[in-house]
Amino acid sequence: LDGMAPHTWRGPSAAADWYRDVLIEGEAVGAAGYQVTVGSPWHDDIHGDSAYVVAPATMTFELNGAPIRQSGAVFTVALCKQPDGWRIAAWAWAKGSQ
């Protein structure tokens, strides 16, 4: 789930499809150099093979060469434990202020 269209990506290639669309959108609007910092979780809940985490986040990037910093964002993720480790089942990003 993301603020850019098509807003949701599903299926086994969802992460790759989302990343492809981020790069396409970024190129179209002149954004590049994305960096995300996730802070200590405000909430985490683990039950067996499932987990839910809510954490503050900050994203920096360049927009047409000018540095942009979005602070106060919230990153929410649902995780599923697989034999080879934890995997993202779903996530959402609530954009902070610029």
pLDDT in tens, 11-24: 889 889 999 999 99
Length of the chain: 98
- Answering whether pTM is above 0.85, one says no
CATH fold of 31-94, please? Nuclear Transport Factor 2; Chain: A, (3.10.450)
- What's residue 56's pLDDT? 97
Q: In this structure, how many other beta carbons lie within 10 angstroms of the beta carbon of residue 59?
A: 19
- What's residue 47's pLDDT? 96
- Domain spans of the chain, in order of start: 31-94
pLDDT above 90: percentage of residues in the chain: 73
Instruction: For CA atoms 64, 65, 66, 72, give the dihedral sign.
Output: positive
